[in-house]
Every structure is written in structure tokens, then in C-alpha cells.
Structure 1
Amino acid sequence: MMDEVSPKAPPAPTVETEVEARAEAPQPRMSDHCTNDTPLDASEVANGPYFLALKEIVKLADVDVYVSKPMDAVSGTPRLVLMLTGGTGVMAKTNQIQADCFAQEGYFVVMPDLEAEDVHLGDSAPNAAAVTAHTENADLLETIKFKAAEGIKGFIIDMWLARHTPENTMPIIETVLKAVKETYADKAYDSSMGILAVGYCFGAKYVLRLAATDEIAAGAIAHGLLISKEDIAGVKKPVTLACVENDMFFPDEVRDGGKKQLQDNNIDHELKVYPGVPHGFAVYGSYSEEHIKTAQKQAFDQFLEFLSKH
């Protein structure tokens, strides 16, 4: 009679197997456009809005805040725009130029650093280049396939998102808004006209959250990230949305369901879908493809026209 063979226990997971398993089927949470700067052409930057606004980085309530205002503004007259960025953060040149674009149109713009932990130590989302460099320098990971490196990047981004929740992020925004009012109201901007808010990628969710309160008069968002049906259902202020066609980061069912919710609640809104553009297209950048550059300008004009009415 043959000896009975005990079944072998499954092998313990290793770093390689866990990373490869994650790389096989993770759900996308942030795109490279959320964590990497859009391209910039040096000559375009030299002649663009970056040099047509007065700007500085200041500390407000221990938070780094990029402040940009029109060069010809009369003290106390511009309207305030709160700009909330994607994962590249307040130090990214593209985000600073985008803020300057609004300043060039006559707005007083404040852009707080949302990417830090513990009111604010500086914790911008990991970009692809940084993750690649990290994996190339790690002996253990040199033998793992490319897809494993992608899995690691996804894991690091997920960890970043786990630290940057609404419970951590909204208090930063509220603290900065309070400090802005105390520091600048009626000196640098007209506080009687109401605050406008603009959000890109990660920051879009929080514009919708503000639009569910009386903190702002109107909001504008582009290619939102991690937006839920509840975020849209709570909106009670006018909003405009610039969306990407077939955007896995802002699924059609959430977008279309949100539009219906805004209609049912009689909220003044508009929603435009831009085909053939990448997630992140609306942030200032020097794309070579003409249709992306055109869509970028159209989205900016969409925001300007809508906000000017509110």
C-alpha cells in the first residue's frame, strides 16, 4: 500500500509574486497624467503667461500656497479663484502656469499645496520617473519583469492616495481658505463677490465638495479623479465639468449619472466631453498634437465663460 501523501501547503508569497499578482489586475486609481507634469516647450514658457502675472509662494497656516495676481490689478478689486491641483502639486511649473493663466484673465489666484501629510511637509504624488529610478536601484527588483515595476508604481500611488483622503485633505483647504480671507480679503481681492474654485484631477473632487457648501459661489473641474456619485449629488452651487471621453478615471456611469443628478436637483451646470485627449489635457502644456492644444484652450475658455457668469 502506498503511503498517503499529505497535501503541500501553498508556497509563501514572495515580493516577486505579490508584485506580479498586483500588476496583473489592479484597478487604475491615478494616471501618469495625474502624477507627471504635462510637456512644456521652453520657448512657449518664455513668452507665455508665466511672465504675465505677479506671483509668489507664501506660508498660510503652515501650508505652502502659490499666489498669482494680475500685473495691472487695482488693489482689492479682482475676484478670488481657489485652484486645487492634481498629484503633481503646487511646485509643478505646469500648475503654476495654469494659475497664472487665470491671473492673466483678471483673477486673484491662490493654489494651496494639497499633497502634504500633517499640514504640510511636502508629499507630492510619486511620478513614473521617480518610481522607475527606485526600482532600477533595488537589487531584488532587477530580476522582476517590467509589469512588476508597474505594479510597484501602482502600489506606491495607492499608498499615496490612502494618505490623501477627504478626511485629511478637506481640513487643509478649509484652513487655507480661512487664512486667505484673514490675509487678503478686500486688500488683494473683492470678498463681496464670492469665491470661485477650479480643480484638476485630484483637486476636482474637492471643488465638488466645496460646491456642496456655501464656501464658494461656483466651481469648475477638469478630468476629475476618484469622484463618487455622492460627491456630485451633494452639489448645490453652479458647476462646469470638462471631461475626457472614455476616461477610466472618471467612468461614464458616474459622469452620466452625475449629470442627471444635477438636472434633477435643478443645479446650474454644464458638462462637456472632449474626445481623443488624454486625462490631464486641460492643465497648461505644450502638446504637439493640434487637437489636444485646441481642446486645452476650449476647456480654459469653458471655465472662464462659466465662472464669469457666477
Structure 2
Amino acid sequence: MWRLLVAQRLVHSSAYTGSGIEEGKKEKRRKDLSGKLGKEMNDRREDRTHFSESISELVATAKQLSTRPELNPMFKLRLYPESLERTALLAQVEFEAKYAIECADTAYAEERERVEEEWKRGRERVRERLLEGIEERRRRAREEKDGEGTAGDVALDSHSRPPITRKLRNKLGTSPPPTPLGNSGIAASSGPNIISSLPITTGPFLNPHSLSVDEIPSPFPLPLTATTNPNNGTSHNNGPGGGPTNGRRRPKGGGQHQHQNIGGLGKSIAMLSGGKDNEIESDLGDIRRGNKRRRATAQVPAGFKHEGTAEGQWEEIGGIKSYVSVPPDGEYAKDTVILYLADVFGPQLINAQLLADDFAKNGYKVVAPDYFNGDPAPEDAFNPGTTFDIMKWFGSHGPEQTRPPLDKVLAALKEQGITKIGATGYCFGARYVFDLAFENIIKVSVVSHPTFIKAPEDLEKYLEVSKAPLLINSCTFDERFPHESQAIADQVLGDGKFAPGYKREYFEGCTHGFAVRGDLTDPKVKAGKEGAFRSAVTWLKTKL
């Protein structure tokens, strides 16, 4: 029994112990679960707080980046490399701009120095040309005076006579004697201006050396008026009953004769008679024509005859005698011709034939028509002492006489199949080069020391109507185409204004006619002649 009780108690105690253990385990599990749940809840609570803070921070950052990004440190940090690169590029651009400005300033300074230097050189050249031109005119005037004896004519030429001014009075030695007055009463009563109101042929005459400018009766130093013997005086009437003499003859030596009181001219003044206007104009015309002939002769140098043998042949083209030259090898363009228009000496001059041969040697057929109809100026036309009248020759060799032969030659060349014509004209022939270019008959124009070219009229017309490229060979001393005309040609046709092409060559120290009749012993003239020919050939080869 006892054992049974013990056993029961043991059973009950073990059961109780087992249930207690179970309860402890459950409680422990319950506590662990609640601890984990609390921790999880705490963690979730902390995550929510952190998430809220992150969201708030991101919203604030986004707002700041949208409104004031420059206040954001991270933005500044990320922008810093870009800022450095941009600053470097801006500095590079600034330095490049400064360098470009410095280069432009340097180029401007260099260009300005170059232009100033060219201007100074040009001014010196103009000064030298003016001095050379003045010296040349003086030399020609001296030659004209010495060779022609034109001192009197020059005095009569109003263009060459210096104007009479008050400074020229009383310069002919000592002071002139006072003018004698025939009637002092007139001078006393009428005043000092009575002389100017009287006719020039009525006394009293002033001393010729004391005339004022207003009292000079003529633009010429010599008087062109005359007078007759005045017989209507009152105090000097010698007729019977005339005046206070009561018909008595004035005794010899009694008083001074009127004719001897008239400015010291004597009795000769009474023998002069009035000249007719047509006679005066005729005399003046003769004087002017003579001076014009002498000036025209003085303006054209005598020229020199060159040595050589002509290689061309004389042929008739269109019934006109022409000098024709072809290349020695016979190779040339059969549709092309160089028209050589000679100066007043015509293609008969050996110089012209040699030039035509030289053009032919450069691969062209050259035709030099005798458009003077066999009557060119003689070779010694401009030599000193010659009696050849160049003005009369010009009168019989105008366009009416010289253009028809030229047209016949051109028509015959076209019939031969010539389609391209280049023309080179010297002096007189340059005028026809312009005329043919106006009509666009020729393709290329070359003129050397041209004559009868009106500036600017012909040059402006060339610009308007012609299509032929133009080359002008000019020189220093050329009164037919002076520096003024050369400058006008450059102004009208230069600087690309004439689209087909324009060029002017200038040969220092050369005179009109240098390209044909120049003095080859003069180095400058020889260089000018060769340079003009070389430029003409180059121009033809380039443009034709």
C-alpha cells in the first residue's frame, strides 16, 4: 500500500513536473515570439522613419535643384569639371580673339606702311615725270626757236605769251618817261580818267610802257588798230579863219606839233588806216595755223631707221597693196591674222616690215595694208629743216581716204576664211584699232603710243561697246597720249571695270614713236621697244 502510494505520488509528481516543463517551454516560446515581434515592429518603425526622412530629403533636394541648383553642394561638385572645361574654352576663345585682333592690327600697320611707301614713290615718280616733261618742253621750245626762228610768232601766240600784269609794267629798264599831254586844259578839267574814255587812236597816247591793264587795247603786244590824221582840232586848226589864229599860218617852231606830242609816235601815226575785221581775222588765222604746224612738228620726234632685211612679201588683198609675213616654218592658224596698222610712214618703212616679221615669227600670219594709198609720209618728214607739211598731209589722209582701203582688206580676209583678227596699231594706226574695236570687227586690240585718241570720250565708248581686250603701250614723253590721258584710261577701264581685259604698260624714259622708230642706241628706248613688242605678243597669245 505504501508502495502504491509512493508510486502514485511519484506518478503524480512526475506528471506535475512534466506539465510544468511544458508550460515553461510554451512560456519561453511565447516570450521569444513576442520579443521577435516587438523587435520586428521596432525595426519596421525605424524603417518607416528612415524612409520618411529619405523621402523628405529627396523632395527637398529635387525642389532645390529645380529652383536654386547653385545652392546644392552635390550639383556644384558634379558641375565643377564642366565649369573648368567651359572656363578653359572661354579663355581659349578670348586668346584667339586677341591674337586675331593683333594680327589684324599688324596687317593694317604693314598695309598702311606699304601704301604710304607706294604713295611716296608714286609722288616722286609724278614729280620726276613733271620735271622731265617741263625740261622736254623747254628743250623743244629752244629747238623750235633756234630752228624755225619763231620768236616773233611766239610773241603773237596768245597761248604761249605770258599774261601782261601790273608786275610787268616798268620792267623794261629804267622808268618810262611821262606821257606828254597835248592839252593840259582837258586833263585839268576832265580829270585823270579822260584818257580811258577817249578812242585809242585819238591823242594823247600814253607811253606804251606805262599802260595799265584796263587800257591795253588788244590781247597781242602789237596794236591791231590804226587811225587817220585828225583835222577837227580846235586849238590847232591851221585852216583859214579857223580859231584864234585869224587865218594866219603858225610860224615855224612856234609851239610843239601835235603829231610829235602823241606819245612820241611822230607823223607815222597819221599814215595808218583802219584795218577790216575780215583782214584781221585772216591774219590771225594764218598766225595760229603756222604756230599749230610748228607745234605739231615739234611734238613728233624725228625717229630712227632700223637696219635689217624684210622677209615678207607684197601682195594685193582686196585690191589693196599689203605687206604680208608668215612664220618661216609655215605653221600657223589658217583662220587667224594679225592686222598691222602702221604709223604715218606706212608699211613701206623698213621698221614696220621688221616688226611685222617679228610678229610672224611668233606663229601668226601678219597683214600690213597700205591704207595710205601709196602716199605715206616721207621718212624724213620730221627731221629738222624739212619742208614737209604734216598738217596738209593729215588733211588729205583722213577717214574718207584711209578707211575704205582698210575695209576692202578686211572683207577680202573674211572671204579667205579668216574668223579671228587681232590688231596692233602704232601712232596713227591706233585710231583705227579703236574704230575696229568699236564695231567688234577685231578680237584683240593692241595700241602703242596712240594718236587721235580722245580722253575720256573714246575710252568710255570702248568700255560701253567693245568686246576686244585692250593693251596700251605708253611712255614718258608723249604729247599725243600724255600722262593725263593715261591716267584717264586706267580710271575708265582699269580695276576690272572692262570685263574682256585691260592692261597698260609704261616705259620710262621713252618718247612718242619708241615702239617703231626709237633710238636703239639709247638703253631705255631699246628696252622700251623690246618690252612693248614682248607685251604685245604675250597679250595676243593670251587673248586671241
TM over 0.5: same fold? yes
Matching residue of 1:141: none
Instruction: Give how far 1:6 is off.
Output: 7.5
Instruction: Give how far 1:127 is off.
Output: 5.0
SS at match of 2:321: strand
Cα deviation digits, residues 119-144 of structure 1 (max 9, x gap): xxx22125545987875xxxxxxxxx
In 1, Cα distance between equivalents of 2:354 and 2:335: 18
Matching residue of 2:461: 234
Cα deviation digits, residues 95-151 of structure 1 (max 9, x gap): 1111001011111000011223xxxxx22125545987875xxxxxxxxxxxxxxxx
Matching residue of 1:158: 391
8 Å CA contact retained: 1:37, 1:88? no
In 2, Cα distance between equivalents of 1:105 and 1:246: 30
Letter in 2 for 1:97: L
Structure 1 or 2: larger strand share?
1
TM-score, length of structure 1 as denominator length: 0.74
Matching residue of 1:125: 377
Matching residue of 1:204: 430
Instruction: Give how far 1:272 is off.
Output: 1.5
Change beyond 3 A, Cα 1:76–1:308: closer
> Of the two structures, which has the highest relative contact order with CA contacts closer than 8 Å and spacing of 6 or more?
1
1:260 to 481, 491, 501: 491
- Greater mean alpha carbon deviation, residues 217-226 or residues 68-77: 68-77
Query: Which sections of structure 1, spanning at least 5 residues, go unmatched?
Result: 117-121, 136-152, 186-190
Cα deviation digits, residues 172-203 of structure 1 (max 9, x gap): 222211112224x3xxxxx35x2100000000
In 2, Cα distance between equivalents of 1:299 and 1:132: 27
1:220 aligns with 2:485: no
1:63 to 320, 342, 347: 320
Structure 1 or 2: larger helix share?
2
Query: Which sections of structure 2, spanning at least 5 residues, go unmatched?
Result: 1-228, 233-269
1:269 aligns with 2:502: yes
Matching residue of 2:306: 40
8 Å CA contact retained: 1:238, 1:269? yes
SS at match of 1:198: strand
Cα deviation digits, residues 241-297 of structure 1 (max 9, x gap): 001124111133322222222234444110112121121111166611111111111
In 1, Cα distance between equivalents of 2:230 and 2:519: 73
In 1, Cα distance between equivalents of 2:316 and 2:385: 31
In 1, Cα distance between equivalents of 2:440 and 2:272: 64
Letter in 2 for 1:39: K
SS at match of 1:275: strand
SS at match of 2:306: coil
1:247 aligns with 2:475: no
SS at match of 1:111: strand
SS at match of 1:39: coil
In 2, Cα distance between equivalents of 1:269 and 1:92: 30
Change beyond 3 A, Cα 1:238–1:134: closer
Letter in 2 for 1:272: E
Change beyond 3 A, Cα 1:300–1:288: same
Identity of aligned residues (%): 27
- Greater mean alpha carbon deviation, residues 246-255 or residues 210-219: 246-255
Matching residue of 1:188: none
1:105 to 348, 357, 362: 362
SS at match of 1:245: strand
Instruction: Give how far 1:231 is off.
Output: 2.6
TM-score, length of structure 2 as denominator length: 0.44
Instruction: Give how far 1:7 is off.
Output: 4.7
SS at match of 1:221: strand
Report the aligned-residue RMSD: 3.2
2:405 to 168, 172, 176: 172
1:96 aligns with 2:327: no
SS at match of 1:107: coil
8 Å CA contact retained: 1:65, 1:113? yes
Letter in 2 for 1:125: A
8 Å CA contact retained: 2:342, 2:352? yes
8 Å CA contact retained: 2:518, 2:525? no
Instruction: Give how far 1:84 is off.
Output: 0.1
